[in-house]
Amino acid sequence: MAIGSIFRGVEVGHQALDYHLERANVLAGNVANIDTPGFRPLELVRPSESPAEGRLALAVSSPGHIPFSGARAPGALDVVEEGVVSPGSDGNSVSLEHELAKISANQLRYDSAARLVQLQLAHLRYAANDGNGG
């Protein structure tokens, strides 16, 4: 077994924690803008879920420009506007109940991921101590 595969579960858990932490920030921003006229709620999505995949290519307007390949950093996330259900008279479409439900579900997922990482680290500590638990 490769050394990297021993820590793969912890790495995946770390990525899940990062995602849910960043999503909590986006959702909190939605709630903070509940009275902002014209505000559309935002959502954090992984690139494979993003409707922005068909982005426009960057134009090279000078021969000295460095070409952009469109490559993304591994694990990069997109913040996109959520579908508008029914905006209010001021154009704001944030539903407090909907956002609070998403925040609650996100918190449960974060807590679950944190617990899984904690258990994986405990197993690694146990194995590193030759099963002596200390």
25-37 pLDDT tens trace: 999 999 999 999 9
The residues near 98 (Cβ < 8 Å, ≥ 6 apart) are 41
**Is 13 a residue whose pLDDT tops 50?**
yes
pLDDT for res 3: 59
SS3 60: coil
The residues near 78 (Cβ < 8 Å, ≥ 6 apart) are 44, 45, 46, 47, 50, 52
CB atoms within 10 A of CB 79: 15
**Is 56 a residue whose pLDDT tops 80?**
no
The residues near 67 (Cβ < 8 Å, ≥ 6 apart) are 60
pLDDT for res 74: 53
To the question of pTM greater than 0.85 for the whole model, the response is no
pLDDT for res 21: 95
pLDDT for res 53: 47
**Higher local confidence (pLDDT), 91 or 1:** 91
Instruction: Yes or no: say if 99 and 30 are a contact pair by the CB < 8 Å rule.
Output: yes
